[in-house]
């Protein structure tokens, strides 16, 4: 039996994790959860799974809802750290959304435990800090972002990455697959949130619609697999069936296929390579039509920025991430049009000036500073 700490339990990834756990109660025990403030959702989880520990990030929500019934309720940085380091916990699942996940991820990598990572923003913003720590403390990071879990599966059983010639990361293309940016000025929030293949939280759904998600995933992949940026290709694959492809130097390309369902990479991450049974939609191979297209030309500039982040590393990822988080938040709040998300990122990134000092404090400072700068850009164009 493995004891699990699920960070971001009330979110979309959290829901998929809980479903995999429910189907495998003989293997996994939900020992702890964390969330920000959605207590009504958390209460359902607490009643169903009876986790021993419940961490609430929002202090007011904690004060209002903490009880002495069954679970131990926790709040504050010190309690979060103690929870992550608690030796009763075997597996930590990082499924918080956004930069907020970096704090927990940076502690998790010092525990020597198995970490299932969904929170890509923590790697994009803090990859140069997190990956060396994971190595130092022999913490195992298993990606559960679907493309990265696909790459992880395609690499398993091979001689590391020495024989890899190319890694192709697929993108669904989102709801605006066939539209140039110039046609997207007046799209509504509902249209942008209407993803054709995946049901996800709002932030990552908007990232998919802009294709910035794929740029974040390029940086995420570079860190997770320790490969050069130019090994990675981004292609559009509207059906979201092939989640990534690894091409080896002998000409073989290995891919991972499944219906678009996050329970599948999560089950793989939890499995320790002993396949865990879950219910899933079977692919009907006789009716599949799989197509691939080049990454759209008018998203080349954003891809180039992501490639620059991969090559320069250090704190540049924190700038890219924070600029994007503010741009997306501003679009969701109705402060800017959809097409301006790119402008906010470009302009904030162009004006950035970052130090190479690597610590959680520096990354937090850069994140804070970049958010202020990005908000100025939003103000100037809204
Ligand atoms: P959601 O918005 O659905 O859920 C986010 C979760 O994080 C919630 O539990 C939320 O709590 C919690 N949270 C937010 N802020 C904080 C905070 N400051 N402290 C503690 N907890 C916090 O996001 P998703 O599940 O869609 O995505 C989670 C991560 O996984 C993201 O990084 C995303 O990019 C990545 N990912 C998601 C995929 C998907 O299919 N959804 C696919 C691949 C990657 P509360 O509900 O209380 O606000
Ligand atoms: Mg993904």
Three-state helix/strand/coil letters over the chain: CEEEEEECCCCHHHHHHHHHHHCCCCCEEEEEEEECCCHHHHHHHHHHHCCCEEEECCHHHHHHHCCCCCCEEECCHHHHHHHHHCCCCCEEEECCCCHHHHHHHHHHCCCCCEEEECCHHHHHHHHHHHHHHHHHCCCEEEECCHHHHHHHHHHCCCCCCCCEEEEEEEECCCCCCCCCHHHCCCCCHHHHHCCCCCCCCHHHHHHHHHCHHHHHHHHHHHHHHCCCHHHEEEEECCCCCEEEEEEECCCCEEEEECCCCCHHHHHHHHHCCCCCCCCCCCCCHHHCCCCCEECCHHHHHHHHHHHHHHHHCCCHHHHHHHHHHHHHHHHHCCCCCCCHHHHHHHHHHHCCCCCCCCCHHHHHHHHHHHHHHHHHHHHHHC
Q: Which residue from 5, 7, 8 has its CB within 8 A of the most atoms of ligand 1, so it is best to mutate?
A: 8
Residue 105 CA: which ligand is closest?
Answer: 1
Q: Which residues contact 250 (CB under 8 A, 6 or more apart)?
A: 163
Q: Looking at ligand 1, which atom is closest to the CA of residue 200? A: 41
pLDDT at 132 over 80: yes
Cα 204 from Cα 201, distance rounded (Å): 6
Three-state helix/strand/coil letters over 92-126: EEECCCCHHHHHHHHHHCCCCCEEEECCHHHHHHH
Cα 305 from Cα 124, distance rounded (Å): 13
Query: Which has the higher per-residue pLDDT, 198 or 117?
Result: 117
What is the Å distance from ligand 2's center to 111 Cα?
26
What is the Å distance from ligand 2's center to 146 Cα?
5
**Ligand 1 atom 9: residue of nearest CA:** 8
pLDDT at 80 over 90: yes
Cα 218 from Cα 307, distance rounded (Å): 8
pLDDT band for 302, please (50, 70, 90 cuts): very high
Q: Which residue from 7, 9, 13 has its CB within 8 A of the most atoms of ligand 1, so it is best to mutate?
A: 13
pLDDT band for 67, please (50, 70, 90 cuts): confident
Q: How confident is the model at residue 198, as a pLDDT?
A: 80
pLDDT at 354 over 80: no
Q: Which residues lie with the beta carbon below 6 Å from any ligand 1 atom?
A: 8-14, 34-38, 57, 95-97, 100, 118-121, 145, 198, 200-201, 204, 262
**Ligand 1 atom 2: residue of nearest CA:** 201
Residue 204 CA: which ligand is closest?
Answer: 1
Q: Looking at ligand 1, which atom is closest to the CA of residue 38? A: 47
What is the Å distance from ligand 1's center to 321 Cα?
15
pLDDT at 355 over 80: no
Averaged pLDDT, 105-117? 98
Sign of the Cα pseudo-torsion (80, 84, 88, 94, in order): positive
Cα 176 from Cα 105, distance rounded (Å): 32
168-189, pLDDT tens digit by residue?
999 999 999 889 999 999 999 9
Sign of the Cα pseudo-torsion (198, 199, 202, 203, in order): negative
Q: Looking at ligand 1, which atom is closest to the CA of residue 55? A: 20
What is the Å distance from ligand 1's center to 9 Cα?
8
**Ligand 1 atom 28: residue of nearest CA:** 97
Instruction: State what percent of residues in the chain have pLDDT above 90.
Output: 91
Q: How confident is the model at residue 219, as a pLDDT?
A: 98
Residue 117 CA: which ligand is closest?
Answer: 1
Radius of gyration over every alpha carbon of the chain, rounded to an integer in angstroms: 20
Q: How confident is the model at residue 199, as a pLDDT?
A: 84
Q: Which residue from 6, 201, 213, 328 has its CB within 8 A of the most atoms of ligand 1, so it is best to mutate?
A: 201
Averaged pLDDT, 190-202? 89
Q: What is the pTM of this model?
A: 0.97
Domains of the chain: 2-143 (3.40.50.720), 145-310 (no CATH), 314-382 (1.10.1740.10)
**Residue that the structure tokens 């990082």 belong to:** 94
Residue 61 CA: which ligand is closest?
Answer: 1
Averaged pLDDT, 291-311? 95
Range in 56-60, 120-124, 198-202 with the lowest mean pLDDT? 198-202
What is the Å distance from ligand 2's center to 217 Cα?
7
Ion ligand 2, residue ranges at CB < 5 A: 145-147
Q: How confident is the model at residue 273, as a pLDDT?
A: 81
Across the chain, mean pLDDT equals: 96
> Alpha carbon of 196 to those of 76, 171, 267, 306: distances in Å?
38, 12, 23, 25
Q: Is 189 in contact with 205 (CB distance < 8 Å)?
A: no
């Amino acid at each position: 039996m493995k004891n699990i700490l699920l960070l971001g339990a009330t979110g979309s990834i959290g829901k998929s994790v809980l479903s995999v756990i429910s189907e495998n109660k003989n293997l996994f025990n939900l020992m702890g959860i964390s969330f920000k403030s959605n207590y009504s959702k958390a209460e359902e989880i607490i009643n169903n799974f009876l986790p021993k520990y419940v961490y609430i990030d929002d202090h007011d929500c904690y004060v209002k809802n903490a009880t002495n019934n069954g679970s131990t309720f926790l709040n504050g940085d010190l309690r979060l750290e103690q929870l992550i380091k608690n030796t009763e916990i075997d597996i930590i699942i990082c499924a918080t959304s956004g930069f907020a996940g970096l704090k927990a991820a940076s502690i998790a990598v010092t525990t020597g435990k198995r970490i299932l990572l969904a929170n890509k923003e923590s790697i994009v913003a803090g990859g140069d800090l997190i990956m060396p720590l994971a190595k130092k403390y022999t913490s195992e990071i298993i990606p559960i972002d679907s493309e990265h879990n696909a790459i992880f599966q395609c690499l398993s059983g091979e001689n590391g990455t020495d024989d890899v010639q190319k890694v192709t990361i697929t993108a669904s293309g989102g709801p605006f697959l066939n539209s140039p940016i110039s046609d997207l000025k007046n799209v509504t929030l509902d249209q942008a949130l209407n993803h054709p293949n995946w049901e996800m939280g709002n932030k990552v759904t908007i990232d998919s619609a802009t294709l910035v998600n794929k740029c974040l995933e390029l940086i995420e992949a570079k860190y997770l697999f320790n490969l050069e940026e130019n090994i990675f290709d981004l292609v559009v694959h509207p059906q979201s069936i092939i989640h990534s492809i690894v091409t080896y130097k002998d000409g073989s390309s290995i891919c991972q296929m499944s219906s678009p369902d996050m329970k599948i990479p999560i089950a793989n991450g939890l499995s320790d390579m002993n396949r865990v049974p879950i219910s899933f939609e079977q692919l009907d191979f006789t009716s599949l039509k799989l197509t691939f297209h080049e990454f759209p030309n008018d998203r080349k500039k954003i891809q180039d920025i992501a490639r620059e982040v991969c090559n320069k590393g250090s704190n540049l990822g924190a700038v890219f991430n924070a600029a994007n988080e503010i741009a997306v938040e501003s679009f969701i709040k109705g402060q800017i049009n959809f097409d301006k998300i790119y402008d906010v990122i470009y302009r904030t990134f162009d004006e950035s000036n970052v130090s190479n000092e690597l610590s959680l404090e520096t990354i937090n400072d850069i994140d804070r500073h970049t958010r202020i700068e990005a908000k100025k850009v939003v103000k100037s164009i809204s």
